């Protein structure tokens, strides 16, 4: 009888643990499915985005960097949604010439700010909390400076409003990646391993960078071989707009709240060099760092989300 009681208690404890784990899992992941949306921007380019629908709060809009896409932020979208208890919609968009968005010869930051506005409007929102990484960070800055009324606040990740003569090693490396992609004859290949080996031969030896780039490799339905999803012809030819911060005219400084979050191991943002450039156009800017490289949201996702959530009350 005593043995049975012990077994019963053990079984009861295990059952309670399973229920607690199940409840924890539900609290973390029991959120709406990610929805997909197609938006037509001002110039007719179709912009793709994904979202986790939430409450009536001001939405969060994530914007990826060069050669990225909206799915880069999918897990972080869920984390933000969970921590904010679903009080707002969380969106991630594909920039033009990336992901599932349309291709266009116009890849200026002025035009991409129009894309941001179109996406927000399509979700029935007139303003958003914009979080942009790298080129997405420049798009965020451009939107804040050109259309301040639609940016409730901005979080710019590991990038600065640099001009050509301030280009870093990281920017030059990004240029080289684009050239390597163009020089890799993926249209003659139908084996992913062969493409990976060719990228190594071309000098792209870093495995994590190759994995990131290979997310752009898709099948060409007409030939059966591969092609790049991103519009390399435009991205490589419009280097001044991809790798520097260039806007039409002289915009008025953004008077809203802006957090510049950078990686201490990254070459893309150096506080001593870039803070004066930032303050010239974002006078209310604050700065924070994570012990990470350029991809700090991938290296430190929990800390990154914590900064996103805290920015609502601390900025």
Say how far apart CA 221 and CA 268 lie, in whole Å.
Answer: 37
- For β-strands 151-157 and 217-219, DSSP reports them as unpaired
Q: How far is CA 243 from the centre of its chain?
A: 16
Q: Position of tokens 């921007």?
A: 41
Q: What are the φ and ψ backbone dihedral angles of 56, each rounded to 5 degrees?
A: -85, 0
Nearest to 229 by CA among 188, 198, 186: 186
Neighbours of 251 (CB within 10 A): 16
Q: 43, 87, 220, 233: which is the annotated catalytic residue?
A: 233
User: CB 287: neighbour CB atoms within 10 A?
Assistant: 15
Of the residues 49, 92, 134, 311, only one is catalytic, namely 134
Question: 165-203 burial, b if ≥16 CB within 10 A, otherwise e?
Answer: eebbebbeebbebbebbeebebeebeeeeebbebbeebe
Contacts of 109 (CB under 8 A, 6+ apart): 138, 139, 141, 142, 241, 245, 246, 247
Catalytic residue among 133, 294, 297, 307: 294
- Whether 134 is catalytic is yes
Across 31-49, b (16+ Cβ under 10 Å) vs e yields: beebeeeebebeeebbbbb
Among residues 240, 228, 216, 242, the alpha carbon closest in space to that of 66 is found at 242
Among 273, 274, 302, 278, residue whose Cα is nearest residue 290: 302
Just list the catalytic residues.
134, 233, 294
């Amino acid at each position: 009888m005593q043995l049975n009681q012990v077994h019963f208690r053990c079984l009861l404890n295990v059952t309670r643990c399973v229920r607690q784990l199940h409840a924890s899992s539900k609290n973390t992941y029991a959120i709406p499915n990610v929805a997909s949306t197609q938006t037509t921007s001002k110039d007719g380019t179709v912009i793709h985005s994904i979202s986790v629908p939430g409450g009536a709060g001001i939405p969060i809009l994530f914007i990826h960097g060069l050669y990225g896409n909206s799915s880069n932020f999918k897990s972080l979208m869920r984390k933000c949604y969970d921590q904010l208890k679903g009080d707002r919609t969380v969106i991630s968009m594909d920039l033009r010439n990336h992901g599932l968005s349309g291709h266009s010869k116009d890849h200026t930051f002025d035009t991409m700010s129009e894309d941001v506005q179109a996406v927000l409007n399509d979700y029935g929102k007139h303003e958003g909390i914009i979080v942009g990484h790298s080129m997405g960070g420049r798009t965020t800055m451009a939107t804040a400076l050109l259309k301040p009324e639609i940016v409730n606040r901005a979080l710019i990740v590991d990038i600065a409003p640099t001009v050509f003569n301030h280009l870093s090693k990281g920017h030059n490396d990004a240029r080289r990646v684009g050239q390597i992609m163009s020089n890799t004859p993926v249209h003659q290949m139908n084996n992913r391993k062969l493409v990976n080996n060719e990228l190594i031969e071309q000098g792209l030896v870093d495995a994590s960078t190759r994995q990131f780039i290979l997310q752009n490799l898709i099948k060409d339905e007409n030939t059966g071989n591969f092609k790049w999803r991103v519009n390399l012809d435009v991205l490589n030819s419009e280097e001044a707009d991809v790798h520097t911060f260039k806007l039409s005219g002289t915009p008025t400084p953004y008077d809203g709240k802006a957090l510049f979050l950078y990686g201490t191991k990254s070459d893309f943002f150096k506080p001593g060099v870039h803070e004066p450039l930032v303050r010239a156009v974002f006078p209310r800017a604050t700065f924070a760092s994570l012990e990470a490289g350029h991809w700090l949201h991938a290296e430190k996702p929990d800390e990154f989300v914590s900064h996103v959530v805290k920015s609502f009350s601390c900025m």
